[in-house]
Amino acid sequence: MRRIINFLKIILSPKTWRYLSYLLNRLWLDNISAVPRLRYLGKGTVIEPTACFNVPENVSIGKNCHINRFCCLWASERSKIVIGDNGLMGPSVGIFSSNHGHDVGSTPMIDQPVEEKDIIIGNNVWLGAHVVILPGVKISDDVIVAAGAVVTKDVPANSVVGGVPAKVIGERGAVKKA
Protein backbone atom coordinates (compact mmCIF):
# COMPACT_ATOMS: atom_id res chain seq x y z
CA MET A 1 0.00 0.00 0.00
CA ARG A 2 2.88 2.35 0.83
CA ARG A 3 4.39 1.83 -2.63
CA ILE A 4 1.13 2.79 -4.28
CA ILE A 5 0.88 5.98 -2.23
CA ASN A 6 4.48 6.94 -3.09
CA PHE A 7 3.83 6.20 -6.76
CA LEU A 8 0.72 8.41 -6.74
CA LYS A 9 2.67 11.21 -5.03
CA ILE A 10 5.24 11.12 -7.82
CA ILE A 11 2.67 10.91 -10.62
CA LEU A 12 0.51 13.72 -9.22
CA SER A 13 3.46 15.99 -8.42
CA PRO A 14 3.46 19.34 -10.32
CA LYS A 15 7.19 18.85 -10.93
CA THR A 16 6.48 15.59 -12.79
CA TRP A 17 3.86 17.26 -14.99
CA ARG A 18 6.12 20.24 -15.74
CA TYR A 19 8.89 17.88 -16.84
CA LEU A 20 6.50 15.80 -18.94
CA SER A 21 5.21 18.99 -20.56
CA TYR A 22 8.81 20.04 -21.29
CA LEU A 23 9.61 16.66 -22.90
CA LEU A 24 6.50 16.70 -25.08
CA ASN A 25 7.23 20.26 -26.14
CA ARG A 26 10.80 19.33 -27.16
CA LEU A 27 9.52 16.29 -29.07
CA TRP A 28 7.02 18.50 -30.88
CA LEU A 29 9.49 21.28 -31.74
CA ASP A 30 12.50 19.14 -32.66
CA ASN A 31 10.79 16.31 -34.53
CA ILE A 32 7.06 16.14 -35.10
CA SER A 33 6.62 19.72 -36.30
CA ALA A 34 9.99 19.63 -38.12
CA VAL A 35 9.34 16.64 -40.40
CA PRO A 36 6.68 18.36 -42.58
CA ARG A 37 9.03 21.34 -42.98
CA LEU A 38 11.88 19.29 -44.47
CA ARG A 39 12.94 20.61 -47.89
CA TYR A 40 12.46 17.12 -49.34
CA LEU A 41 11.45 13.79 -47.82
CA GLY A 42 11.53 10.76 -50.13
CA LYS A 43 8.91 8.05 -50.24
CA GLY A 44 9.48 5.14 -47.85
CA THR A 45 11.83 7.05 -45.53
CA VAL A 46 11.43 6.34 -41.82
CA ILE A 47 12.34 8.95 -39.22
CA GLU A 48 12.30 7.76 -35.62
CA PRO A 49 10.41 10.04 -33.21
CA THR A 50 13.48 10.99 -31.18
CA ALA A 51 15.48 12.26 -34.17
CA CYS A 52 15.90 16.04 -34.09
CA PHE A 53 16.40 18.73 -36.71
CA ASN A 54 17.69 22.29 -36.80
CA VAL A 55 16.47 24.44 -39.73
CA PRO A 56 14.58 21.51 -41.31
CA GLU A 57 13.88 23.67 -44.38
CA ASN A 58 17.55 23.12 -45.33
CA VAL A 59 17.47 19.31 -44.93
CA SER A 60 16.67 16.96 -47.85
CA ILE A 61 16.37 13.20 -47.33
CA GLY A 62 16.04 10.78 -50.25
CA LYS A 63 13.71 7.84 -50.61
CA ASN A 64 13.88 4.60 -48.61
CA CYS A 65 16.16 5.95 -45.85
CA HIS A 66 16.11 5.23 -42.12
CA ILE A 67 16.95 8.00 -39.64
CA ASN A 68 17.40 6.14 -36.36
CA ARG A 69 16.78 7.07 -32.74
CA PHE A 70 18.50 10.15 -31.33
CA CYS A 71 20.02 11.23 -34.65
CA CYS A 72 20.63 14.96 -34.97
CA LEU A 73 20.60 16.70 -38.37
CA TRP A 74 21.82 20.22 -37.64
CA ALA A 75 21.53 22.41 -40.74
CA SER A 76 21.92 26.17 -40.47
CA GLU A 77 20.41 29.21 -42.15
CA ARG A 78 23.23 29.38 -44.72
CA SER A 79 24.07 25.69 -45.21
CA LYS A 80 22.18 22.56 -46.08
CA ILE A 81 22.25 18.81 -45.54
CA VAL A 82 21.41 16.54 -48.49
CA ILE A 83 21.07 12.77 -48.02
CA GLY A 84 20.67 10.47 -51.03
CA ASP A 85 18.46 7.39 -51.44
CA ASN A 86 18.67 4.11 -49.48
CA GLY A 87 20.69 5.54 -46.58
CA LEU A 88 20.94 4.03 -43.11
CA MET A 89 21.85 5.81 -39.90
CA GLY A 90 22.61 4.01 -36.67
CA PRO A 91 21.45 5.55 -33.41
CA SER A 92 22.87 8.87 -32.23
CA VAL A 93 24.41 9.99 -35.53
CA GLY A 94 25.22 13.71 -35.58
CA ILE A 95 25.38 15.65 -38.86
CA PHE A 96 26.38 19.28 -38.30
CA SER A 97 26.60 21.74 -41.21
CA SER A 98 27.80 24.53 -38.93
CA ASN A 99 30.49 24.75 -36.29
CA HIS A 100 31.95 27.43 -34.03
CA GLY A 101 35.38 28.84 -34.82
CA HIS A 102 38.15 28.35 -32.30
CA ASP A 103 40.80 30.97 -32.99
CA VAL A 104 43.15 31.60 -30.09
CA GLY A 105 42.78 35.02 -28.60
CA SER A 106 40.68 37.05 -26.26
CA THR A 107 37.41 36.39 -28.16
CA PRO A 108 35.13 34.16 -26.06
CA MET A 109 34.15 30.85 -27.68
CA ILE A 110 30.49 31.89 -27.91
CA ASP A 111 31.50 34.97 -29.95
CA GLN A 112 33.79 33.17 -32.40
CA PRO A 113 32.70 33.26 -36.08
CA VAL A 114 30.60 30.34 -37.25
CA GLU A 115 31.69 28.08 -40.12
CA GLU A 116 28.74 27.01 -42.28
CA LYS A 117 29.21 24.55 -45.17
CA ASP A 118 26.91 22.13 -46.98
CA ILE A 119 27.03 18.40 -46.28
CA ILE A 120 26.25 16.00 -49.12
CA ILE A 121 25.73 12.29 -48.45
CA GLY A 122 25.37 10.02 -51.49
CA ASN A 123 23.14 7.04 -52.21
CA ASN A 124 23.40 3.72 -50.36
CA VAL A 125 25.45 5.07 -47.45
CA TRP A 126 25.46 3.41 -44.03
CA LEU A 127 26.45 5.57 -41.06
CA GLY A 128 27.14 3.42 -37.98
CA ALA A 129 26.08 4.35 -34.46
CA HIS A 130 27.49 7.59 -33.00
CA VAL A 131 29.07 8.81 -36.25
CA VAL A 132 29.73 12.55 -36.39
CA ILE A 133 29.91 14.41 -39.71
CA LEU A 134 31.36 17.93 -39.68
CA PRO A 135 30.69 20.88 -42.04
CA GLY A 136 31.73 20.76 -45.69
CA VAL A 137 31.98 16.96 -45.99
CA LYS A 138 30.88 15.08 -49.11
CA ILE A 139 30.34 11.33 -48.71
CA SER A 140 30.14 9.57 -52.08
CA ASP A 141 27.86 6.65 -53.02
CA ASP A 142 28.10 3.13 -51.53
CA VAL A 143 30.09 4.07 -48.42
CA ILE A 144 30.15 2.54 -44.95
CA VAL A 145 31.19 4.75 -42.03
CA ALA A 146 32.17 2.70 -38.97
CA ALA A 147 30.55 3.35 -35.61
CA GLY A 148 32.05 6.22 -33.63
CA ALA A 149 33.89 7.76 -36.59
CA VAL A 150 34.32 11.52 -36.92
CA VAL A 151 34.22 12.47 -40.60
CA THR A 152 36.15 15.67 -41.29
CA LYS A 153 37.07 15.22 -44.99
CA ASP A 154 35.40 13.97 -48.18
CA VAL A 155 34.95 10.19 -48.53
CA PRO A 156 35.46 8.41 -51.90
CA ALA A 157 32.88 6.02 -53.37
CA ASN A 158 32.81 2.33 -52.38
CA SER A 159 35.00 2.84 -49.33
CA VAL A 160 34.79 1.87 -45.70
CA VAL A 161 36.00 4.56 -43.29
CA GLY A 162 36.49 4.62 -39.54
CA GLY A 163 38.38 6.29 -36.74
CA VAL A 164 38.90 9.77 -35.32
CA PRO A 165 39.39 11.47 -37.67
CA ALA A 166 37.90 9.02 -40.18
CA LYS A 167 40.29 7.39 -42.66
CA VAL A 168 39.75 4.79 -45.38
CA ILE A 169 40.14 1.36 -43.79
CA GLY A 170 38.72 -0.80 -46.56
CA GLU A 171 36.86 -1.00 -49.82
CA ARG A 172 33.40 -2.36 -50.48
CA GLY A 173 33.37 -5.27 -52.87
CA ALA A 174 37.10 -5.98 -52.52
CA VAL A 175 38.03 -9.65 -52.65
CA LYS A 176 39.17 -10.88 -49.23
CA LYS A 177 42.41 -12.85 -48.98
CA ALA A 178 42.11 -16.28 -47.48
| DSSP conformation class of 27 | H
Residue 62: pLDDT over 80:
yes
Domain range for 124 is 34-171
pTM for this structure? 0.80
Asked if residue 19 belongs to a domain, the reply is: no
pLDDT of the residue at 55: 92
Cα separation, 162 vs 108, in Å, equals 33
Mean predicted lDDT score pLDDT of the chain: 89
Q: Which of the four pLDDT bands, split at 50, 70 and 90, describes residue 171?
A: very high
Q: Report the C-alpha gap between 16 and 140 in whole angstroms.
A: 46
Q: Given a cut of 80, is residue 134 above it in pLDDT?
A: yes
> Count of domains in the chain?
1
The reply to whether 122 falls in a domain is yes
The reply to whether 22 falls in a domain is: no
| Higher-scoring residue by pLDDT: 96, 25 | 96
Asked if the structure places residue 9 within a domain, the reply is no
Does some domain include residue 5?
no
What type of residue sits at position 111? Answer: D
Of the candidates 66, 100, 102, 130, the residue annotated as catalytic is 102
Look at residue 174 and give its three-state secondary structure: coil
- The answer to whether residues 37 and 57 touch, using CB atoms and an 8 Å cutoff, is yes
Strand partners, 171: 159
| 3, part of any domain | no
Give dist(CA 39, CA 169) in Å, integer. Answer: 34
* Top-confidence residue, 16 or 57: 57
> Is 66 annotated as catalytic?
no
Confidence check: pLDDT of 142 > 80:
yes
CATH number at residue 153: 2.160.10.10
Return the top range by mean pLDDT from 28-32, 47-51, 66-70, 172-176: 66-70
DSSP E strands in the chain: the ranges are 40-41, 46-47, 52-54, 59-61, 66-67, 72-74, 81-83, 88-89, 94-96, 98-100, 114-116, 119-121, 126-127, 132-133, 138-139, 144-145, 150-151, 159-162, 167-171
**With 70 as the cut, is the pLDDT of residue 121 above it?**
yes
